[in-house]
Amino acid sequence: MPVLPAPTYVDVVDAAARLEGVAHRTPVLTSSTANERTGASIYFKCENFQRMGAFKFRGAYNALSHFDYAQRDAGVVTFSSGNHAQAIALSAQLEGMRATIVMPHDAPAAKVAATQGYGGEVIIYDRYKENREAIGQRLARERGMTLIPPYDHPHVIAGQGTAVTELLAQTGPLDLLFVCLGGGGLLAGSALAAAELSPDCKVIGVEPEAGNDGQQSLARGEIVHIEVPHTIADGAAATHLGLYTFPIIQRLVEQVVTVTDAQLIETMRFFAQRMKIVVEPTGCLAAAAVMSGIVPVQGKRVGVLLSGGNVDLARLAQFLG
């Protein structure tokens, strides 16, 4: 496989065309309670309403749409226990391709079932003994499948960025944009879109406090690796930024801030009670930074990306109870 060049805004526009009529144009919601509490005009971009329940569909589908005939014939392989697995499985189903997903032995049964429900073949590995990237690479070699990683891939980054081209078309220019940060696919794509369409908009990444590798990486000027963090924000439990995502974030993102699990739970409750929507813990990161006043937003026009809504009902009941 040739090494692909770093993605630019042009690739985000190209991805938007490929996703037209396939991905949902998700709604932007507002809340007078949120506006009163913060003194700002807040626009919530609801990717919890995206197909399969998270923005990940955008990047996964965009990546698969670039496959040539031979790649389509052999299919796609990836490693993920979360939303990227479902996004790849659904995208492959829509494109009539085979998908193999490498998942840890302790992945939630609901996520394994959802991935299989979209027609994906799930291969289980022991996360304490084996390396998922090595398994993915071996499958790619043996079966001729193309490996699409969860965040560090130009087509994935460009696809994720379409959430923000859409948001800015819906709201007009913004002063601030808050985006959750795991491996940085969504944040890098969002920053590419915002820099072009709303150049004065400051883009802020939000990580779980327990896993602030992105914040450390910006401070040190290099990619910092951490242990798997213990946080309820499981979608942002990546242990390091990527070779594609880090330089974009370094160039275009104003700062990275952190929030605690307690702030995430408070924010989930706010969404359920006031706005009547289900947002998964990771999906609350950006909103938690705004609602708990970590960054001053008074008088500003503020975009907040709600990244997903896939949460086990029993866990949701615990958080809301």
Q: Footprint of ligand PLP on this chain (CB under 6 A)?
A: 54, 56, 82-83, 150-151, 180-187, 235-236, 238, 280, 282-283, 307-308
Strands 202-208, 99-104: pairing kind: unpaired
Q: Which two tokens stand for residue 62?
A: 């965009």
Give the integer Cα–Cα distance in Å for 12 and 46.
Answer: 19
Q: Given the complex with ligand PLP, which of 54 and 268 has the nearer CB atom?
A: 54
Q: Given the complex with ligand PLP, which of 34 and 191 has the nearer CB atom?
A: 191
C-beta of 261: minimal distance to ligand PLP in Å?
Answer: 15
Identify whether 81 is a catalytic site residue. Answer: yes
C-beta of 298: minimal distance to ligand PLP in Å?
Answer: 26
C-beta of 56: minimal distance to ligand PLP in Å?
Answer: 5
DSSP state of 161: H
Q: Given the complex with ligand PLP, which of 215 and 282 has the nearer CB atom?
A: 282
* Helices assigned H by DSSP within the chain: 9-19, 32-38, 56-65, 69-74, 83-95, 109-117, 132-143, 154-171, 185-197, 213-220, 245-252, 261-273, 285-291, 313-320
**How many CA atoms lie less than 13 Å away from 201 in the CB half-sphere?**
29
C-beta of 63: minimal distance to ligand PLP in Å?
Answer: 13
Give the integer Cα–Cα distance in Å for 129 and 143.
Answer: 23
Identify whether 202 is a catalytic site residue. Answer: no
Q: Given the complex with ligand PLP, which of 242 and 300 has the nearer CB atom?
A: 242
C-beta of 273: minimal distance to ligand PLP in Å?
Answer: 20
C-beta of 143: minimal distance to ligand PLP in Å?
Answer: 25
Q: Given the complex with ligand PLP, which of 76 and 179 has the nearer CB atom?
A: 179
Which residue is at the shortest CB distance from ligand PLP?
308
Catalytic residue, chosen from 65, 81, 190, 198, is 81
Give the integer Cα–Cα distance in Å for 124 and 141.
Answer: 18
Contact 113, 81 (CB under 8 A): no
Quick one: which H or E segment has residue 101? strand 99-104
Q: What are the residues whose beta carbons fall under 8 Å from the beta carbon of 31, sequence distance 6 or more?
A: 42, 44, 274, 275
- The angle that helices 83-95 and 56-65 make with each other, rounded to 10 degrees, is 40
The one-letter code for the residue type at 289 is A
Catalytic residue, chosen from 45, 56, 111, 300, is 56
Catalytic residues: 56, 81
